[in-house]
Structure 1
């Protein structure tokens, strides 16, 4: 099976260099590498013009619209392989990454998506904790990620993570990443709608911790600055999550989700109970997060109603 690796990148040429080097060192050679670059990203275009990698089947795609969704959709249009593997420019796949991916898709014709662990590096420190539950959408709407902490045997999951996910081109068909996802860069939860759609269509989604990449979280050039609170980024995150879940949950579970989200929530998307939990340690910041979460819920709900009215 021919494999394509798709990498969206923006203003991180040093990270991209490490990623491309890792692809050159794969046990199973890559058949096509697509790097999607913003038209205004002079740093990356200069790096690619000077890149000397004669054995790397590199194909560049130019995109004018900001955000990972537009980049990935532009890249999907250029995919030639039977399998498309998506990773970030700040990741470095392990040498057996493509070999393991090809083996999975060759052995199971019902496999639509495959993901694995991203080993997160914080400077010289490796995040090596472990969690048995990964990539699950619970019945009342809570999403459990933990893709960077997964251990154990391969298992079916509901959701994959954008830094390490592969898809059968036949399964994707005309499916594209949801352009309603808000954000000018990361667009958090963009992969959730994609994988849930494949699963609802009957395709199997597998997570195997051994299908691994090293992940070196790099600087972002948008409103989402990872661990720093930004009201716009917070609202966008909750909006995206709300819109996706309302569209994929059945009616009764949708109602339960809304009540749970507003009154309980999570540490990333606060409800009233989570606000009480964080109030002693975060003070006014907890209140800002709660209001941003509720605004995101309301905006996601409104968009869902408009689309389905």
Structure 2
């Protein structure tokens, strides 16, 4: 008997994107057993889209009170009835065989906890090209490798799946939910990372298969975390969330190594002192200094959040 599948789509004031996503879900070769669109009550635009949803799509509108993607995803998990929980963004368009490939993967491997795939990122009307073999991994010192939008080759085990294209076996989740300590009021960047690393810490298997594909058309965000431009608040939130997720995941002996690396070097997205010098060349000294300050503040805040939680757990 085929596993039942619930699709969760969190949304907030992106009606055109949501309409396109629902149309793609209505055209799946393997239909969803239910589609849960999680939205806030005051989002009248989304309510109108749901009233005009494609015929034959088993859709439920689920209202969430708290702002942010974490609360929306957790509300969806609490309401979903399927044996497999597939998650995508409202600005993503799952390809026609998306659910079929997901179900076949879970049916073929009872040890599989999570499945994800490539999100073909469209920027200025064009899909980004390129291929990467290494996808969704955490290196020994805590550096995260994404590349979910460029992954090529066959299926492989990973540490992290991307929120626009990830699915989970419900029976393996237990009472695990997305981490409410994630900062931000909208996208709450790295919530997918934290969720996946919690599963990996528990010994669960996650697989990335580029053939399990969606097209991703990054939509407008209605919070401080804009995709283009700099926000000190969004930068600090990103650094906080990544730091918290990694400190919870890494073994004790590697946490100090990660913090030293993050503060001294870091990455382009979350620059430490040395990456700040490179940002000086890209954006000038003023913005470089602002990025480094916000990142360091976020790193310190993430460490404090992790430390407080660790003391409470003890």
TM > 0.5 between the two?
A: yes
Aligned to 1:18: 20
Aligned to 1:63: 64
Among residues 285, 288, 305, which one is paired with 1:286 in the alignment? 288
Aligned to 1:230: 231
Aligned residues: 308
Instruction: Tell me the alpha carbon deviations over residues 98-151 of structure 1, each in whole angstroms, 9 at most, x when there is no partner.
Output: 010000000101100000000011233111122111000000000011100111
Query: Which runs of structure 2 are paired with 1:75-224 in the superposition (5 Å)?
Result: 75-224=76-225
- Asked if 1 retains the 8 angstrom alpha-carbon contact of 2:33 and 2:82, the reply is yes
Q: Secondary structure at the match of 2:7?
A: strand
d(CA) in 2 for partners of 1:33 and 1:15? 16
Instruction: Give the deviation of 1:53 after TM superposition.
Output: 2.7
Q: Secondary structure at the match of 2:79?
A: coil
Instruction: Tell me the alpha carbon deviations over residues 163-204 of structure 1, each in whole angstroms, 9 at most, x when there is no partner.
Output: 000000001121100000001000000011111111222221
For the pair 1:47 / 2:59, whether they are aligned, the reply is no
Q: Secondary structure at the match of 1:112?
A: strand
Instruction: Give the deviation of 1:290 after TM superposition.
Output: 0.5
Instruction: Give the deviation of 1:52 after TM superposition.
Output: 4.5
Instruction: Tell me the alpha carbon deviations over residues 58-101 of structure 1, each in whole angstroms, 9 at most, x when there is no partner.
Output: 01110111000000000111111110100000111000000100
Instruction: Give the deviation of 1:214 after TM superposition.
Output: 0.5
Instruction: Give the deviation of 1:153 after TM superposition.
Output: 1.2
Among residues 18, 28, 31, which one is paired with 1:29 in the alignment? 31
> TM-score normalized by structure 1?
0.98
Instruction: Tell me the alpha carbon deviations over residues 191-234 of structure 1, each in whole angstroms, 9 at most, x when there is no partner.
Output: 11111111222221000000000111010101100121100000
Aligned to 2:263: 262
- Asked if 1 retains the 8 angstrom alpha-carbon contact of 2:12 and 2:43, the reply is yes
Instruction: Give the deviation of 1:237 after TM superposition.
Output: 0.1
Stretch deviating more after TM superposition (188-197 or 230-239)? 188-197
d(CA) in 1 for partners of 2:130 and 2:223? 29
- Asked if 1 retains the 8 angstrom alpha-carbon contact of 2:32 and 2:99, the reply is yes
Q: Secondary structure at the match of 1:220?
A: coil
Can you give the 5+ residue segments of structure 2 that lack an aligned partner in the other structure?
none
d(CA) in 1 for partners of 2:21 and 2:291? 35
> TM-score normalized by structure 2?
0.96
Can you give the 5+ residue segments of structure 1 that lack an aligned partner in the other structure?
none
d(CA) in 1 for partners of 2:288 and 2:124? 29
